[in-house]
């Protein structure tokens, strides 16, 4: 069975890397190739390096000031020769990026079967998140196999009249990646310069507030307001260490460095490679983020998360009580963070719940489903 796994950004790479490993454990059955669009470059390469994956095809499409239109066109065009060279039986795309959407279209034109990993997440608002809601919906229309991480995402797909037999509930591969990372980081002889540098820089006896943010819907006003809240928290709690690995997008990096640079207890640092980020999250007290993946990882590490967005396609963690949606209003961010910093009972109750996103066996289930799908096709 010929597999082509396509991804382009850091979060896709983290969540697809364990699937690459899973298929490659079975070389007698699967011939698996990896194609990266490199919609992100540096942050993607950090992940490939940690998971020890060298892409078979690298489209290297990241350009300064790239529009979504230009990127979409380039992905579809550049994938055509890759698809005709390898002629995959199955193409795997992940989540909700422009790479996901455009690769699905390209794979469909070339006649491959499309397997959408992390399928069925919805806000039901086509403008938020932009462009992710439409990217994942388009991939959902095209896909032949939908790997839904939870029952909720499966229900969303059923409501869109996707055939039940095309959906498989797998859990989220982010947990598979997290388990791989923890095993590797804790293995004998593993060293990591970034982790060592963090140990030097931070006082691990003082509380750490970990912050990440990147979403287009927060560009502009949203980030200005988030920065105001972080300034407020830094002043109110001089003992708190706010650590913010800043996303490389200039629309994020620009305002964040301008508004938060030079504050003693705010540590603005470049994006961390995945193992150092997970290490830092496991030592943090609270996580403040607009990221999808971080919300899914944090419950496994027992960390409460405040999500700086107005809507979420991940209601499971909100329901489970590990995540609170706080939006981007500066006062609300300060109020809710203060509650968690001061109320230990609330803190404990948010941090220690089960993770609704999986058990680390998502890739095994995806592989099992492909075998079954292929057998059905042959017989």
Report the C-alpha gap between 333 and 229 in whole angstroms.
6
| Footprint of ligand UDP on 300-359 (CB under 6 A) | none
Cα-Cα-Cα-Cα torsion 26, 149, 312, 65, nearest 10 degrees, comes to 20
Catalytic residue among 41, 216, 285, 369: 216
Q: Segment contacting ligand UDP (CB under 6 A): 8-16, 148-156, 228-236, 342-350?
A: 8-16
Contact letters for ligand UDP, residues 205-234 (x by CB under 6 A): -------x-x--------------------
Report the C-alpha gap between 60 and 63 in whole angstroms.
9
214 counts as catalytic: yes
**Cα–Cα distance list, 35 to 26, 147, 160, 221 (Å):** 19, 20, 30, 36
267 counts as catalytic: no
Nearer to ligand UDP among residue 46 and residue 170 (C-beta): 46
Catalytic residue among 132, 176, 296, 297: 132
271 near ligand UDP (CB under 6 A): yes
Q: Segment contacting ligand UDP (CB under 6 A): 79-87, 105-113, 272-280, 321-329?
A: 272-280
Nearer to ligand UDP among residue 88 and residue 213 (C-beta): 213
Q: Site for ligand UDP (CB under 6 A): which residue of 4, 6, 7, 11?
A: 11
Helix axes 274-283, 42-50, angle to 10 degrees: 80
Catalytic residue among 89, 118, 316, 373: 118
CA angle 344, 290, 123 (to 5 degrees): 110
Contact 10, 97 (CB under 8 A): no
Report the C-alpha gap between 274 and 289 in whole angstroms.
16
105 near ligand UDP (CB under 6 A): no
CA angle 368, 374, 378 (to 5 degrees): 145
State the minimum distance, in angstroms, from the CB of residue 11 to ligand UDP.
4
C-alpha Rg value of the chain to the nearest Å: 20
94 counts as catalytic: no
Q: Site for ligand UDP (CB under 6 A): which residue of 180, 274, 279, 357?
A: 274
Catalytic residue among 96, 176, 194, 373: 96
297 near ligand UDP (CB under 6 A): yes
Q: Segment contacting ligand UDP (CB under 6 A): 72-80, 84-92, 114-122, 271-279?
A: 271-279
Strands 208-212 and 323-325: unpaired
State the minimum distance, in angstroms, from the CB of residue 274 to ligand UDP.
4
Residue 199 DSSP SS3: helix
State the minimum distance, in angstroms, from the CB of residue 133 to ligand UDP.
13
247 counts as catalytic: yes
Report the C-alpha gap between 306 and 337 in whole angstroms.
8
The residues facing 268 across adjacent strands are 244
- Nearest one of 237, 228, 255 to 331, comparing CA atoms: 228
Catalytic residue among 122, 214, 283, 309: 214
Question: What residues are annotated to the active site?
Answer: 96, 118, 132, 214, 216, 247
* Binding positions for ligand UDP, rule: CB under 6 A: 10-11, 14, 212, 214, 245, 271-272, 274, 277-278, 291-294, 297
């Amino acid at each position: 069975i010929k597999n082509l796994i396509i991804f382009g950004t850091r979060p896709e790479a983290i969540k697809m890397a364990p699937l690459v490993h899973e298929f490659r454990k079975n070389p007698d059955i699967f011939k698996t190739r990896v194609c990266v669009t490199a919609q992100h470059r540096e942050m993607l390469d950090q992940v490939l390096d940690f998971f020890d994956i060298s892409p078979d095809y690298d489209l290297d499409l990241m350009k300064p000031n790239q529009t979504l239109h230009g990127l979409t066109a380039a992905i579809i065009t550049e994938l055509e020769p890759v698809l005709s060279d390898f002629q995959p039986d199955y193409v795997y795309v992940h989540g909700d990026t422009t790479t996901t959407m455009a690769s699905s279209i390209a794979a469909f034109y070339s006649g491959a079967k499309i397997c959408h990993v992390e399928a069925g997440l919805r806000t039901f608002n086509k403008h938020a998140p932009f462009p992710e809601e439409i990217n994942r919906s388009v991939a959902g229309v095209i896909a032949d196999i939908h790997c839904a991480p939870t029952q909720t995402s499966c229900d969303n797909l059923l409501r869109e009249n996707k055939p039940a037999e095309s959906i498989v509930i797998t859990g989220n591969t982010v947990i598979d990646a997290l388990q791989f990372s923890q095993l590797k980081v804790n293995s004998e002889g593993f060293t990591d310069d970034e982790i060592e540098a963090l140990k030097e820089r931070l006082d691990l006896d003082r509380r750490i507030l970990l912050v990440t943010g990147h979403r287009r819907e927060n560009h502009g006003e949203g980030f200005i307001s988030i920065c105001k809240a972080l300034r407020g928290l830094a002043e109110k709690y001089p003992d708190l260490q706010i650590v913010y690995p800043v996303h490389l997008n200039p629309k994020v990096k620009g305002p964040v460095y301008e508004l938060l640079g030079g504050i003693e207890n705010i540590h603005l640092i470049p994006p961390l490679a995945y193992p150092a980020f997970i290490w830092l999250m496991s030592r943090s007290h609270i996580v403040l983020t607009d990221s999808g993946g971080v919300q899914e990882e944090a419950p496994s590490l027992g960390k409460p998360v405040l999500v700086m967005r107005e809507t979420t396609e991940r209601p499971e963690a909100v329901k489970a009580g590990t995540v609170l949606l706080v939006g981007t209003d500066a006062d609300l961010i300060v109020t809710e963070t203060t509650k968690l910093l001061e109320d230990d009972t609330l803190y404990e109750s948010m941090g220690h719940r089960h993770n609704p996103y999986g058990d680390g066996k998502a890739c095994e289930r995806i592989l099992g489903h492909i075998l079954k799908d292929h057998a059905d096709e042959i017989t």
